[in-house]
Amino acid sequence: MFGSHALETAIGMAFLFLGVSLIVTAIQEAVASALKLRASTLVSGLKSMMVEGQNGVEFYNSLIKHPAVTPTGGTPSYISAEQFSTAALHVLNVTGQIPAAAVSLQTAVQGMKDSPFKKVMASLLREGETGLDDFETRLQHWFDQSMDRVSGIYKRFSQYISLAIGAVLSFVFQIDAIAIVRGLWSEPDCCGTLTAAAEKAVANESSAMSGLAQFDLTPIWVQWAPSHTPPGDVTTWIIGCAITTIAVSLGAPFWFDTLQNFVSLRGTGPEPQSSSSPAKN
């Protein structure tokens, strides 16, 4: 049955994981911003593409300080392919779309000091080209592909940070998935309240964070104080918090989509019988 207690329990858990995931995302973004993780990953990735030992350092330094790459100064956190190609060609002093431009480019590339980027530039040259448009397109395409790898590195770092934050929140605030499922299953009225809050969260995702107050999460320093009783089965408690950590690592978009599907499933209900259908004896 679509409106079953089992489905409402699943909605409550998805609602919980969504709220915690949003908090984890907010903290992760704050940590990444404080550490300048995006900028440092970009600079590290760009240097690995252009520098080997001391080879290419001079060209790299000139490019990274170019106004097209860092218009406001400082360390860039994002570089477009167009910005990169403009800066690279300007550092090489190659401009214009006249036939001599291609010859000038070939001469400039040959005059570059040995570096991984010189090999890239040489591989992008084509015999008989008289303009720069096609070369710039290839250079931008190469840069975009290289940045995809750098983006993958940043995402992995972000996932590690999110997993660590999720673990801290799960254990510090005792977000024991097993205990919460048991609690929701034994209290249908609570499930109904959470389902209503979940429906609001589907319409306004940010409300999921405030909805966490309904779970009555107790910080570990309160629960384990001398005047309180620690969890009876510590092993189950650890497993439950670990489940929450793994679930939260899936990210807020995953749990928002899951919650949306659960709420939609609950709202469909059983298909009404058609009035034209023959009655059963």
Evaluate whether 63 touches 87 at the Cβ level (below 8 Å): yes
* pLDDT tens string 7-57: 888 998 998 999 899 999 999 999 998 988 999 999 999 999 999 888 889
Q: Report how far residue 88's alpha carbon sits from residue 73's, in angstroms, rounded to the nearest whole number.
A: 17
Angle at Cα 33 formed by Cα 27 and Cα 37, nearest 5°? 110
228's tokens: 């309180």
Nearest alpha carbon to residue 139 among 161, 157, 126, 124? 124
What φ, ψ does residue 55 adopt, rounded to 5°?
-70, 120
What's the pTM value of the predicted model, to 2 decimals? 0.74
2 CB-near residues (< 8 Å, 6+ apart) = 265, 266, 268, 269, 270
190's tokens: 């609570």
* pLDDT tens string 178-199: 988 988 888 877 777 888 888 8
Q: Report how far residue 250's alpha carbon sits from residue 269's, in angstroms, rounded to the nearest whole number.
A: 29
Nearest alpha carbon to residue 42 among 156, 160, 162, 153? 153
DSSP letter at 75 equals: -
Evaluate whether 265 touches 175 at the Cβ level (below 8 Å): no
* pLDDT tens string 133-164: 888 899 999 999 999 999 999 999 999 999 99
Lowest model confidence (mean pLDDT) among 165-179, 244-258, 264-278: 264-278
